[in-house]
Amino acid sequence: MRILLFVFSIMLAGVGFSGCDNAKVENPGKAKNAKVVFLHHSTGGVIWRVENSLWARVKRKIGFETGIPRWFEKYNKQNETNYQVIEMNFPKRDPYGWNNYPYDYYNIWVKNGHQDYFMEEPTLKTLTADYDVVIFKHCFPSSDIVFDVQPDVDSDVKSVENYKLQYEALKKEMHKYPDTKFLLWTPPALVEAVTTPEAARAATEFSMWVLEDWDQPDDNIFLWDFRTLETEGGIYLAPENAAGERDSHPSYSFAKRIYPLFARRIVEVIEHESRNVK
């Protein structure tokens, strides 16, 4: 199954390797307007901006968009759509803290989801009122798996058992908002130098559980298999896709190859009214 998923991901990747080429889509019944928010930290930022030079950063500062924003500028123009896709650091460093692991989404959206905000972070009550699509992900330390702990949905310990409990609770919470679509990345991987084979295998197996067991058809939750693209079917972030030997951020070259896949996945989710694109 892993090999099949890898091959499928590479086939998809071939669509995006040509860069930011937005083909016009003839679909008269598709949505024309959508508001989308991408909740992320640094790994997501690399894919979002796709920049590695001072000149690229200067261009963005003076209003010339790069990466995902630029892709959607072109897509909207070519397809006469108005897809507003923005980014948001979630959670912020203060006051909640720079943690976006399964526990933190559970803590903010489920445990405290009856509020509009928790520690200044929007819960689903607020996000679903403002956006048609909510995209979220974890940072790569989510793959730093701990073993031999008692499962506890209220624990921030990074164990597969805790993750599964938190994901089940998150799914129930997202199902409360059927008019909003959610797009979740599979968890980013770690480079081999900073993890163990046991932790890498466990993180990979959790990702497979998300894809094969947790996900269900015909609901409002969609997936993007970022991890398989990163690992190329293995259990570690492939060296050529990493920012450094001990740095598990994506490399610029990897981000440049795959950001169109992310953009196209967002479009698929926006435009697929029956919500069964998985």
Instruction: Give pLDDT tens digits for 202-259.
Output: 999 999 999 999 999 999 999 999 999 999 999 999 999 999 999 999 999 999 999 9
Which amino acid would we find at residue 256?
A: K
Share above pLDDT 70 across residues of the chain, in percent, rounded to a whole number: 81
What's the whole-model pTM score? Answer: 0.86
Q: Is 99 left (phi over 0), alpha (psi -120 to 50) or beta?
A: beta
Q: Is 217 helix (H, G, I), strand (E, B) or coil?
A: coil
Where do the domains of the chain lie?
A: 2-13+33-271
**Residue 102 and residue 163 in contact, taking contact as beta carbons nearer than 8 Å:** yes
pLDDT (average), residues 139-148: 97
The Cα 240–Cα 234 span in angstroms is 13
The Cα 201–Cα 16 span in angstroms is 28
Which pLDDT does position 66 carry in this prediction? 81
Which pLDDT does position 272 carry in this prediction? 77
CATH number of 2-13+33-271: 3.40.50.1110
**Residue 267 and residue 63 in contact, taking contact as beta carbons nearer than 8 Å:** no
The Cα 273–Cα 234 span in angstroms is 34
Instruction: Judge whether residue 266 has pLDDT over 80.
Output: yes
Could you say which DSSP state residue 148 is in?
Answer: S
pLDDT band at 167 (very low <50, low <70, confident <90, very high): very high
Residue whose tokens read 């992320």: 40
